[in-house]
Structure 1
Amino acid sequence: MNLDAILTFLESSPTIRLLKADLAPFVVFFLRRAFKSDSDDSAISFSHDELASRLQVFQDELRDEERPEMLGSADRYLREWSDAGWLRRFLPADSTGPHYQLTRYSEDAIRIVDAALNRDSRLVGTESRLRLVIDTLVDLVRNASPDPDRRLNDLLQRRQQIDDEIASIRSGGEVETYHPAQIRERFYTAVDLLKTLQSDFRAVEDRFEAIGRQVQREAIKDDRRRGEILASALDAEDLIKQQDEGVSFDAFVAFLFAPQAQAKLRETIAEVTHLDALTGERAAIQHIRAMVPSLLAEADNVLRQTGRLSQTLRRLLDDQSAGHRKRTAEVLREIRTLASRLKHHVAQSDQPPPDEIGLKVETTIGLGNPFARPFWTPPQVFETTPETRVVDMETAQREARKLAGLKRLEWDRMREVIAHATGKSPSIRLSQLLKTRPLKVGIIELVGWIQIAHEDGHRIDRDATEEIHVTAEDVITGQTRPLRVRVPVVTFHRTHEKATTPIRTKRPR
């Protein structure tokens, strides 16, 4: 701590700005009542409508008490408090409206005011805090040493102490218990540590939120590839987990989310709240009773920050994947168009094709997540009984005649017809083209022309339609019948303009 650091902190810290604000008493009181109340209606975060409604109720109470403060709208105050850094405004993935929660700066301000107001009325736990410090130091020395002999001697000493106490109790000795003052002292020490722990979650959330903003900034750069974005995000997340806060939080989550640890903690809290020495400490007891749900909610909120980081990363990668897929489809269409032009040029000029034709392909590494694999399930067993099937030769022959009657489309010849037709005029409609080159195969050939228009980048206008007359032939009976087919307006262009509305169809065979 130095003078410059103190000056900078007092001038720029949102915590100090909150404590020095004109409406500081009202802001601190409202934020503590909404987010830190011992009642059941407190929560980690509130939607905009719910928090604004609570603020309006508080403003009505001030007006009833004839306090001429906070006369503005609730929406304005929430916006100003968010801009000042006292509330964090965010949009959850499962909600359409913004939500608010306390920041670490407002947590610090509430804790400072709460500690100052209760300093004179609360028991100062010197003895319990000294024992806590000593126990922490002893635990540190005990578990930091890798010497097996030292650890073994320590365990033997602790076992001897436990055996001596067991023997004393069995022989009728007096059971040593805490004095009521010592019980209250240790109880308030635990309450203070719990409040500090709950407010420390804001710092962990800020770290994950900073990672998300950094990933978004890196993704905006055009020269950043998906692999680089993913690597930077994973490196940043690993760095947080390797830091002291991340290691401590992971251990906290592993302990708190264990069913046995939760059950033991709830049992201990239930026993503590029934102690006679704590009968008059209703507010603190209510705070301790809400300890497990509150800590679980805080941890879940931090984990949601990690989930939001993953969602942001996945959304960025999906957007880039969609762009890559679109670009790949365009490149393939350009390759087919160039190949068709090259073949047409060779056929027209009677020259041999070039000796070397190459492509430069840029590929990316595919990523797979092993946790995405489903759990193993036993294969389904089917009980089958062999059945004797009689082949209907008449049906088989009929289907065989249908298969033999299918006609093959000459794709190259059809593209040559388009090139010849567009060589005389800049563009030609499909209906006009079919007047000079009638359908020979039937309706399947009509689908083939539309498929060529889609693949080669000609124009397909789905907002307009035209009617084309087709003669359909029955491959079995050989009879023909006229059909009128309504299709989108297809225009073949010499310059191969891109289709405005692609139609996905399967290539006929």
Structure 2
Amino acid sequence: MTLDAISAFLDSSPTIRLLKADLGAYVVFFLRQSFKANHEDSAIAFSHDDLIHRLQCFQDELRDEDQQALVGSADRYLREWSDAGWLRRFLPADSSGAHYQLTRYSEDAIRFVDNALSRDSRLVGTESRLRLVIDTLVDLVRGASSDPDRRLKDLLAERQRIDDEIESVRGGGKVETYHPAQIRERFHTAVDLLKTLQGDFRAVEDRFEEIGRQVQRDALTDDRRRGQILATALDAEDLIKQQDEGVSFNAFVNFLFAPQAQAKLRETIAEVTRIDAICDQRSAVEHVRAMVPSLLAEADNVLRQTGRLSHTLRRLLDDQSVGHRKRTAEVLRDIRTMASRLKHQVESSDASPDIGMEIETTIGVASPFARPFWTPPQVFDVAVEMQVIDLATAQREARKLAGLQRLEWERMRDAIARETRRRPSIGLSELIKLRPLKVGIIEMVGWIQIAHEDGHRIDRDAEEEIHVTTQDAVTGKMTTLAVRVPVVTFHRTSEVANAPIRTKRPR
């Protein structure tokens, strides 16, 4: 840390610009409320419409409190905050609209303000942090050593300690537990680490995005072959995986996506939230309860960033393929032109010269990014509910279903043909008077469906009231209904005019 580095950071960091901005307090509050405050409603990313709606509601609250802040257009503020580096605007592959998520700079600003404001009220954990440091150092020494004798000695000592504790508990000895203050201290330490972990994902995403931009810049500035572009991208991705951040992230994903580890973590979280010493820490408990889905969403978001990198590569390689196809088409056109000329020369002369052709080709390389990435199966965490079947209701509905009658479409069309043969047109109400409904209200729907399918006139701007008598399928009681429907007129068609009249066969 040098004076020049500090000065450059304070002058150019988007985090500092956010904290020093005139409306910085409102921006930090709004971003924290939207993305961090409510763990059940918070999300990693919001669509443009959702975030606009949230910002407009926040502006309405400010106006109700007579605060002259954020009085401009909500869309303009989102655009300005994106340009300032406080929001990341992107277009997901499965959506046609822009989405927003926090950047690492806004994450740092929110975390700084949160830590500063809660410093006086929150528990300052010294003992738990010291134990965490010591346990980490011990684990570091044990994991860094490749000496089998040293590892065996540590394992035997750990087993002896566990055996002694088991014998003590079996012998009726006192079970040592943490003091409530120690429980709260360790719990807040874990919550602080969790918040830091969730904010650090933005840096991993930015690294993957920088790789995609660099590959795109290299492809646009240099006229290179597809293999060279692909090799550069694969080398960059391998470099990321070999760096400390990449190694840690891959280990994190492998652990979190393991079903057994996930189930054990959920079980541990459920037990933690039932501890009496921390039951009054509602906000922190909710944060821990939402830990697994939140971390899974964060990891999935980073993996989607990798997918966007692959999409960029496929697009660049496709652009290269378009250029190759155009050049191939031009060469083939020149070959056809030359072959046509040689054909005429051979036909006009007695000689038959030998005609040959040399073709230079390059080996075809299939992109490994053409395969879709693996996505974890969707897990439904839904409690099983008992469904009680009401037999009386089921029987009543079954009788209604059994009482339904089938519409005879051909006979209905024959009836329209007979009536329109006698006159140019007939209305639906008049047709029903001549041929009363037998099936019920559904038969009227059938007449309207035939009018729609066969191209008869349906005037939706006018209505008429038709009285229909129906019979209940269960009780057999007759009921008269007044139904308002569009004015339907059946017209004579050319097929009807030329078709023979069907008559019933004598029995």
Q: CA 1:278/1:370 → structure 2, altered by over 3 Å: closer, same or farther?
A: closer
Counterpart CA distance in 2 for 1:269 and 1:46 is 27
**Equivalent residues in 2 for 1:491-506, closer than 5 Å:** none
Distance change >3 Å, CA 208–CA 320, structure 1 → 2: same
The 5 A counterparts of 1:105-144 are 105-144=105-144
Q: The residue matched to 1:97 in structure 2 has which SS?
A: coil
Shift of 1:241: 0.5
Give the direction of change, closer, same or farther, for the CA distance of 1:259–1:180 in structure 2 (3 Å limit).
Answer: same
Give the Å deviation of 1:339.
1.8
Deviation at 1:368, TM superposition (A): 6.4
Q: CA deviation at 1:123?
A: 0.4
CA–CA distance in structure 1, aligned partners of residues 194 and 370 of structure 2: 35
| Distance of 1:342 and 1:362 partners within structure 2 | 24
Is this contact kept in 1: 2:14–2:85, CA < 8 A?
A: yes
Q: How does 1:332-347 map to 2 (within 5 A)?
A: 332-347=332-347
Mapped pair 1:63 → 2:98: no
**Match for 2:147: what amino acid?**
D
- In structure 2, the partner of 1:467 is none
Deviations 1:314-363 (A, max 9, x none): 12212322332333233223212212212322332444526x74424131
Structure 2 equivalent of residue 288 of structure 1: 288
Structure 1 222/162 Cα, relative in aligned 2: closer, same or farther at 3 Å?
closer
> C-alpha separation between the residues in 1 aligned to 2:370 and 2:329?
31
Q: Does 1:44 align with 2:48?
A: no
- Shift of residue 218, structure 1, vs aligned partner: 1.8
Q: Quick one: distance in 2 between partners of 1:223 and 1:26?
A: 48
**What residue is the counterpart of 2:364 in the other structure?**
365
User: Displacement, 1:371?
Assistant: 9.6
Q: Is the 8 A contact 2:86 2:106 kept in 1?
A: yes
5 Å-filtered alignment, 1:162-311, equals 162-221=162-221, 223-311=223-311
CA distance in structure 1 between the aligned counterparts of 2:272 and 2:352, rounded to whole angstroms: 94
2:447 corresponding residue in structure 1:
none
Describe how 1:89-108 pairs up with structure 2 within 5 A: 89-108=89-108
Q: Residues of 2 paired with 1:100 and 1:41: CA distance?
A: 15
- TM-score scaled by length of structure 2: 0.71
Alpha-carbon distance change, 185 to 229 in structure 1, aligned in 2, over 3 angstroms:
same
CA distance in 2, matches of 1:85, 1:224: 32
Change (3 A) 1:60 1:370: closer
Cross-structure match for 2:15: 15
Shift of 1:205: 0.1
Following TM superposition, by how much is the alpha carbon of 1:223 offset from its aligned partner in structure 2, in angstroms?
1.7
User: TM-score, normalised to structure 1's length?
Assistant: 0.71
Query: Which position in structure 2 is the counterpart of 1:422?
Result: none
Q: Could you tell me which residue of structure 2 aligns to residue 502 of structure 1?
A: none
Paired position in structure 2 for 1:379: none
What is the match of residue 33 of structure 2?
Answer: 33
- Provide the residue aligned with 2:24 in structure 1: 24
Taking the aligned partners of 2:6 and 2:285, their CA distance within structure 1 comes to 37
Distance of 2:39 and 2:148 partners within structure 1:
49
How many residues align? The count is: 372
What is the aligned-residue identity percentage? 77
- Paired residues for 1:484-495 under 5 Å: none
- Distance (Å, rounded) in 2 between the aligned partners of 1:338 and 1:34: 68
SS at the partner of 1:101?
strand
Consecutive unaligned residues in structure 2, runs of 5 or more = 373-507
Deviation of residue 77 (structure 1)? Answer: 0.5
Kept in 1: contact 2:215–2:233 (CA 8 A): yes
For 1:380-459, list aligned pairs within 5 A.
none
The whole-number CA distance in structure 2 between the counterparts of 1:368 and 1:223 is: 19
Offset of residue 367 of structure 1: 2.8
